[in-house]
Amino acid sequence: MTEATRGAAPISDKRSATRSAGRERRQGAGLDLFLPYLLLAPAVLTVFGVLVYPLWNGIQASTKLYRYGKAVSDIGLDNYRRLWSDPEFLNSLWVTLRFVTISVAIETVLGFALALFCAKEFSGIRLLRAVLIVPMVVTPVVVAIVFRLIYANDTGMLTALSEALGGGQVDILSDPVKAFVGLIALDVWEWTPLIFLILLAGLQSLPQEPFEAAQVDGAGAWRTFIDLTVPMMRPVLAVAIVLRTIDAFGTFDQVFVLTRGGPGTSTKLISLYGYEVAFKFQQTGYAAALFVTVGLLILALALAAVRLLRRVEAT
């Protein structure tokens, strides 16, 4: 059939075909319109139920005054204002910032060093890599209990070791500075493997040509590390640091078991203080304001880190 013949088809057939095609299009359009939403609905509802609603509820609670577990009045932003004159909040925020900064810095340096070492292939390396990530998979509460047994000044392992060597009792948890250092040591032991794992993956994915070229040019190991490895690893380092920083802000189990925030308030992290305010002192509204504020601080930090990462990638 030629084009001309096809064009001369009876008008009734044409109309019928047009109607049929229109119906199909409408049906298709309906499916196109609703099916994606239908498929997305379970996920959206779940996110709404477990994330959006609790968050909204928390924000609402943060504007109320609670007494004896019940909301008694709306107080606007008073809870947020009160935070900045609460010495316990300011202290725990300061302790948390110090804890996060020091522990993440140490973990990054150690994790990078271990990753560089384990990036090489030699006999037993697979076993070593597996062993190095063991601390990360132990339950944090168990780690804290073990460290408490190590640090205990009367029957702890460090005291036993010290006494065997002719020394005296080792007081870690009863001294503010030592207890803080002890908490950082625990965190470093447990979470250096996370940084190690991320950086090892990054190192193994680096192209080999620049390193071979540097070797041909006679560059030493240190020069290669500074001029090639570090710049090429910057995006991976940034991701590892951001992830670990956000995680470290939420540290709770270890400090709850190891020191309960003491001695005094020397190891009282913001998570522990927030927990006490919410559940022990039943100041629900104030606790909600505290956690919203801390959440915003972490969000700001994460956004700043992402912006930094983009800038690094661009250069």
Partner 1 sequence: MSSTDSRRDGVNRRNLLKGGAGAALLAGLGSATPAKAAGKKVVIGGFVDGALVPFKDKIIPLAQQQGFDIQFLQDQYGVTLEKFFNDAQSGAGQYDLYLLDDPWVPQFGAAEVLEDLGAAGIDGADKDWVRPMVDMGYWPPQTGPRVRGFETATPKLICVPFIGDIQTFTYRNDVYKNGAPKTWDEVLELGKAGVSSGAIKYPVVFDGVSGNPIVTSWHPLLLSFGGDFFDDKWNVIFNSDVGKASADFLVTTLKQNAPPGVVEYDSNEVGASMLRGDSGATIQYTGNALVSDDPSQSKEVGKLDFSVVPKKEKAIAQIGIFIAGVPKTGPNKANAIEFLKWFVTPEIQAKLSAAGAIPVKRTAFTVPPAGNRLIPVTLAQFDAGAMPRPRTPDWAKIEELVGIQLNKALQAGSGGGAALDVAAGQIKDYLTQAGYYK
Residues that bind partner 1 (CB under 8 A): 67-70, 152-155, 168-169, 171, 173-176, 260-265, 276, 279-282
List beta partners, residue 64: 74
CB atoms within 10 A of CB 203: 18
Nearer to partner 1 among residue 168 and residue 207 (C-beta) = 168
CA atoms within 13 A on the CB side of 311: 6
Q: Is 89 exposed, middle or buried (0-12, 13-18, 19+ CB in 10 A)?
A: buried
Shortest spacing between CB 50 and partner 1, in angstroms: 17
State both tokens at 178: 């030592």
> Could you tell me the sign of the dihedral formed by the alpha carbons of 209, 214, 220, 226, in that order?
negative
Q: Closer to partner 1 at the Cβ: 154 or 209?
A: 154
CB of 79: closest distance to partner 1 in angstroms? 11
Report yes or no: 61 and 71 within 8 Å, Cβ to Cβ: yes
The first and second tokens of residue 132, run together, are 């190095």
Residue 42 or 87: which CB sits closer to partner 1?
A: 87
User: Coil, strand, or helix at residue 139?
Assistant: coil
Q: Which is nearer to partner 1, 232 or 276 (CB)?
A: 276
| Per-residue DSSP letter, 64 | E
**Nearest residue (CB) to partner 1, 192 versus 283:** 283
Cβ at position 255, least distance to partner 1 in Å: 13
Q: What is the nearest approach in angstroms of partner 1 to the Cβ of residue 273?
A: 10
Tokens of 190: 């447990």
Cβ-based nearer residue to partner 1, 210 or 262:
262
Report in angstroms how near the CB of residue 158 gets to partner 1 at its nearest.
11
Helix, strand or coil, per DSSP, at residue 50: helix
Distance CA 170, CA 156 (A): 8
| CA 289 distance to own-chain centroid | 21
- Amino acid symbol at 57: N
Q: How far is the CB of 263 from partner 1 (least distance, A)?
A: 5
